[in-house]
Amino acid sequence: MDLEVERRRQQRRADTNGAASAASSPDARLTKQRPASRSSSSRALLLPLLVATLLGAILLSLSVGAVPIRTTTLLRAVLLQNELTATERIILFKVRLPRILSSAIVGSCLSVSGLLFQGLFRNPMADPYVIGASGGSVLGASLGIFLFAETSLFGLSVTALLAFAGSVLTMVVIYSLARSRGQTNVVTLLLAGFAVSTMLANCTYVFEVLDSASGSGTRILLSWLRGVISTPHWTGLVFAAAALVAGVLLAFPLTRRLNTLALGDETAQQLGLNVEHTRIAIILVGSLLTSVAVALGGLISFAGLIIPNISRVLLGPNMTRLLPVSVLAGAIFLVLADTLARTVLSPTEIPVGVLMALVGGPFFLYLLRRPRREISL
């Protein structure tokens, strides 16, 4: 009995708090001015600044690890092209640099696909992991690894194609589930994403059981599920970088259309936009980037959520402006996160996916708590 009374009292207190904050929020929003960084002069400086930060982050990440290499040594090596020992060369070019570039590509891919999906769903909560696109990609890639490991189509491995197809299929399913009458219901979107992710993750466990004999595929799968950034060969890295560049170039003309789509399907259609074609293009480009990220780093949660949302707070919602910032900031963010992941518990490393879940989870909850007007559309 006491418990019930206490529960009701808490409920009432929560209600009054909710009402109070709801009442104060309109005033707070009215006084809000556009941030200074939306002005064009500081915008012009932003991209060079981000490039410099990215180079700095890469340099920092190169220097730390089981064998520390001083940044001055690195700088001298870059500028004067000498002074590296054979061991240092191996560490830098066979181990650290591929891994760092890999994490940068993963970060850019996740941020840009997050940005595209947020525009598609007209909702800041969308992210390739949250809505299950990453999960679909992992499932597709697992099918490839376990069933068609040696097959290739038009020079591309079937595994890569299936990773892409898995992401596209998942997106189509989620999209048709979460949209009704031109609106995205945020609860349906998140629940559909949750259901599909869980389903896919558990499907991949079945592969693990089936493949327990050989074990190599299983090891890859496990690192995918935990979100470990791989250390790819240079050819793989070049392919991934090419896919990222292609994805960003294709995304660029889509950003203007995403701004139009923000007005709603009907208004966009009335403005002469081919809404269906635009949506298909967004799903394809977003899925391409998602599958590149999955191929290099597996399931990394929330990265595609954090960077676009922080950028949007600082720069406003214009997608054309957010795209280059997301590419660079996403790369910086994941380079730093992966550096932390491989050094913080040295000599063992924690998967960056685990680290991101720990950081991204609270951020996701914070987004959920924001005024309903912005997220319930």
Partner 1 sequence: MSQPLLALHHVGFRYGRRDLFLDANLALESGTATALIGPNGVGKTTLLRLASGIQKPTSGSIDLDGRPLASLSPRQAAQQIALVPQQLEIPFDYTVQEVVEQGRTPYLSRLGGLTAADRQQVDRALDLTSTAGLRHRVFNELSGGERQRVKIALGLAQQPRLLLLDEPTQNLDIGRQIELLDLLAHLRSTGLAVLASLHDLHLIAGNFSAVLLLRPSAAPLYGPPDRILEQSLLESAFDCEASHHPFFSQLPTRAGS
Q: Which is nearer to partner 1, 173 or 262 (CB)?
A: 262
Cβ pair 330, 289 in contact under 8 A: no
Residue 73 or 269 with smaller CB distance to partner 1? 269
Of 37, 195, 222, 317, the one binding partner 1 (CB under 8 A) is: 317
Q: Count CA atoms closer than 13 A to 337's CA, side-chain side.
A: 31
Enter the DSSP assignment of 149. Answer: T
Q: Which stretch binds partner 1 (CB under 8 A): 16-24, 162-170, 205-213, 252-260?
A: 252-260
Q: Single out the residue of 334, 347, 88 nearest to residue 229, CA to CA.
A: 334
* By CB under 8 A, residue 369 contacts partner 1: no
Instruction: Please report where in the chains the tokens 């809000």 appear, as a residue.
Output: 32
The minimum distance between CB 330 and partner 1, in angstroms, equals 19
User: How many other C-beta atoms can be found within 10 angstroms of the C-beta atom of residue 177?
Assistant: 16
Q: Which stretch binds partner 1 (CB under 8 A): 122-130, 147-155, 292-300, 346-354?
A: 122-130
Residue of 53, 188, 226, 316 interacting with partner 1 (CB under 8 A): 316
107 touches 304 (CB < 8 A): no
Of residues 318, 340, 354, 363, which one binds partner 1 by CB under 8 A? 318
**37 forms part of the interface with partner 1 (CB under 8 A):** no
Site membership for partner 1, residue 5 (CB under 8 A): no
Name which of residues 158 to 177 contact partner 1 (CB under 8 A): none
Task: Give the residue with the Cβ less far from partner 1, 7 or 373.
Answer: 373
Cα–Cα dist 136/169, whole Å: 7
Q: How far is the CB of 29 from partner 1 (least distance, A)?
A: 6
Alpha carbons 19 and 364: distance in angstroms, whole number: 23
From the CB of 191, what's the least distance to partner 1, in Å? 19
* Minimum CB distance to partner 1 smaller for 6 or for 374: 374
Q: Does 1 bind partner 1 (CB under 8 A)?
A: no
Q: Under the criterion CB under 8 A, does residue 188 sit at the interface with partner 1?
A: no
Cβ-based neighbours of 79, under 8 Å, separated by 6 or more: none
User: Which tokens belong to 348?
Assistant: 């063992």
Q: H helices within the chain, ranges in order?
A: 2-30, 40-63, 71-80, 86-90, 97-121, 133-147, 158-178, 186-210, 216-226, 234-261, 265-270, 275-297, 303-315, 319-343, 352-369, 372-375
Among all chains, which residue has been given the structure tokens 């590509």?
105
Interacting residue with partner 1 among 114, 124, 144, 227 (CB under 8 A): 124
Residue ranges in 253-312 that form contacts with partner 1 under rule CB under 8 A: 253, 256, 259-260, 262-264, 266-274, 312
- DSSP type of residue 36: G
Out of 8, 13, 29, 219, the residue judged to bind partner 1 by CB under 8 A? 29
Residues 246 and 109: beta-carbon distance below 8 Å: no
Distance of alpha carbon 73 from alpha carbon 83, whole angstroms:
7
**Binding residues for partner 1 restricted to 68-97, rule: CB under 8 A:** none
| Site size toward partner 1, by CB under 8 A | 31
CB of residue 301 vs partner 1: minimum separation in angstroms?
22
- Short-list 135, 141, 113, CA closest to 304: 113
Q: Is position 122 an interface residue for partner 1 (rule: CB under 8 A)?
A: yes
Residue 25 binds to partner 1 (criterion: CB under 8 A): no
Residues that bind partner 1 (CB under 8 A): 29-30, 32, 34, 122-124, 253, 256, 259-260, 262-264, 266-274, 312, 316-318, 320, 373-374, 377
